[in-house]
Amino acid sequence: MTTAAAEHRSFEADVSRLLHMMVHSVYSDRDVFLRELISNAADACEKLRYEAIGKPDLLGDESKLAITISADPDAGKLTIADNGIGMSHDEMIEALGTIARSGTRSFMERVATADGKDGAQLIGQFGVGFYSAFMVAEKVEVVSRRAGNTEAWTWSSDGKGEFTVAPAALGEAPTRGTRVTLHLMEDAKTYAERWTLERIVKEQSGHVPVPISLITEPGADAVALSDGAALWTKPKSEITKNEYADFYRGVAGQYDEPAATIHFRAEGLHEYTALTFVPGARPFDLFDADRKGRIKLYVKRIFITGEAELLPRYLRFVRGIVDTADLPLNVSREMIQDSLLLGAIKKGVTNRVIAELAKLAEQDPDTFRVIWENFGVVIKEGLYEDSARREQLLGLARFRTTASGETWRSLKDYVGALKGNQTAIYYIAGDDASRIATSPQLEGFRARGIEVLLLSDPIDSFWASAVPDFEGKPFKSVTQGSADLGLIPLLEGAAPPSAETSEKITALLASIKEILADEVADVRSSDRLTESAVCLVASDIGPDRQFERLLSAAGRVESAAKPILEVNQRHAMVSALASTEDHALRSDVAHLLLDTAHILDGERPAEANAFAERLSRLVTRSLGNG
């Protein structure tokens, strides 16, 4: 509902804070504001193209869409105008007075701590778009008329907490579309100069799919800066690396360099062109709960939607476009979801992206390492979700291991370094990489030089339990079941594991099992411990220790299964305990050993007070004997 009176409104709290930081922060590159405003204008034109498919009258006599930049150096003003879809009264308030996109708070936290060197990257990464205008403008005015409407509206603000929306004089408003006028700050008036504007547009926005022209001063003729030709329609041999990077920044809404560019045309039963990019930095929405992709779908160069599922969710970090002529221009959003053609395109683009990543891993491992460090945690979701491509994804996967230090290792590397008689790929999963690297369960494996994968991402427990093997070698958790290490010889000089169980040790294990009967499923001698006294493992049947914790936290299991307590019978404390006849002492130590095993697993003792009391009794007894 609209009104003829001017409305004075306050920005929502997050917008006010954001504008304050933009105006009062120093950025090394403020040029980004122009790219953001041009991108918004191009989006408005593309939205009109789409709506005009069903309503051709929206175009009226002005069928050629365009973006016009007008400068007034003497007045210190800069205007960016488009004849796209425009905004109604309510749309203007929603678009310019609120931020609905996720990631805003994270963006502001990073801006608050930035030192000025990465401001442009932050703006591009978090897509604050329109609000970047306040980095260079002391006042912003927006006049807009939605296509098909007779009313026009003016929005204005100085970026200090409030904005005004009022009816626009129809004779001064565009017949359709939006006009953004910036009243430039004193130190930003170079943005009204011809050479500055030409440089920025050609560097950052030369390949938006809408023609851009420049009017250098009031009354001057317009000069074409770009023809609106779609970059993806050009032969790859005619496109430079900088042009690809420029297009990537526009389509991805980021300001980094793409780590990989994948541009191809598919011909045959289905014809389409794909131009996709792997970002050089993590997008802010990488871990959004809905896990939506960001590939734009075009039909005959007309933008249809940015929400078609053209890649599986584990490749949601990939940005770009797909353009096909095989779909009707009036395709509905419902038809898109059920389209067999889109299913075929998704399969083709997915296979090509994975194949290109595999090629990159082979030919340029340094670049692939950066990609894996940024997106490996997401790609591994495919190991759990995409059984059809599991082999290819296993080939891409990289891991830190007990033998690799800070170097990433492939499964092919791992299998190539298997020890004699080693029949499995061993791994340990947990939520803290540094802690699991020092887990007692690894001791027997280290003593034999057996490499173990260190899995610290939450998805690792899911895929490792679902993937049967790699090249015939099954995955096996070192925290589950028996270690079965007897056939693999120790490294020279390594301390041997537990020796043959003596009668005293057998009696001790039975005693501990009786004492801890309510808390453990079994107590047994360990062949995986060489230094620590105890550790906890899961039984052969069911999930391993970490997976069980995740399932329990998610409410997927009512109660965790009792663990198995493994004891290092060669440990001095265990040997001493086996020689005592003091049942009270044995009970205290047995419980403390169990609590110690829990702590080493990153857990708390079951009863903190009981743990403290037992420890106090033992220390007092020890000091008294001393």
Contacts of 321 (CB under 8 A, 6+ apart): 232, 251, 274, 275, 276, 295, 296, 297, 298
> Amino acid identity, residue 583?
H
Q: Is the predicted pLDDT of residue 427 greater than 70, yes or no?
A: yes
317 annotated ligand-binding residue: no
Residues 6+ apart with CB under 8 A from 206: 212, 225, 226, 243, 246
| Beta carbons of 497 and 444 less than 8 angstroms apart | yes
The Cα–Cα gap between 290 and 309 comes to 12
Distance (Å, whole) CA 214 – CA 191: 13
Q: What is the mean pLDDT of residues 601-611?
A: 90
Has 178 been labeled as part of a binding site? yes
333 is in an annotated binding site: yes
232-370 and 503-541+555-625 in the same fold? no
pLDDT at 347: 95
Q: Is residue 128's pLDDT more than 80?
A: no
Instruction: Encode pLDDT of 166-193 as tens digits.
Output: 999 988 899 999 999 999 999 999 999 9
pLDDT of residue 100: 40
Residue 560 pLDDT grade (very low, low, confident, very high; cuts 50, 70, 90):
confident
Please, what is the average pLDDT of the chain? 86
Rounded average pLDDT over 397-412: 94
Write the CATH number of the domain with boundaries 7-226: 3.30.565.10
- Residue 308: is its pLDDT beyond 90? no
Three state DSSP letters for 244-271: HHHHHHHHHCCCCCCCEEEEEEECCCCC
Rounded to an integer, what distance in angstroms lies between the CA atom of residue 151 and that of residue 610? 75
Q: 279-293, 359-373, 523-537: lowest mean pLDDT where?
A: 279-293
pLDDT recorded at residue 352: 97
pLDDT of 125 > 50? The answer is no
82 is in an annotated binding site: yes
Q: What is the pLDDT of residue 123?
A: 39
Q: Indicate the domain borders of the chain.
A: 7-226, 232-370, 503-541+555-625
Question: Higher-confidence residue: 423 or 500?
Answer: 423
State yes or no: 102 annotated in a binding site.
yes
Domain 503-541+555-625 in this protein, CATH class: mainly alpha
pLDDT confidence of 25, banded at 50, 70, 90?
Answer: low
Tell me the percentage of the chain whose pLDDT exceeds 70.
Answer: 88
Report whether 91 belongs to an annotated binding site: no
d(CA 535, CA 428): 13
% residues pLDDT > 90 (the chain): 55
128 known ligand binder: yes
Rounded to whole angstroms, the Cα distance separating 186 from 137 reads 9
Residue the block writes with tokens 């939605």: 146
Tell how strand 77-82 and strand 177-184 pair up.
Answer: antiparallel
For the domain 232-370, what is the CATH code?
3.30.230.80
Tell whether residue 330 is among the known ligand binding residues: no
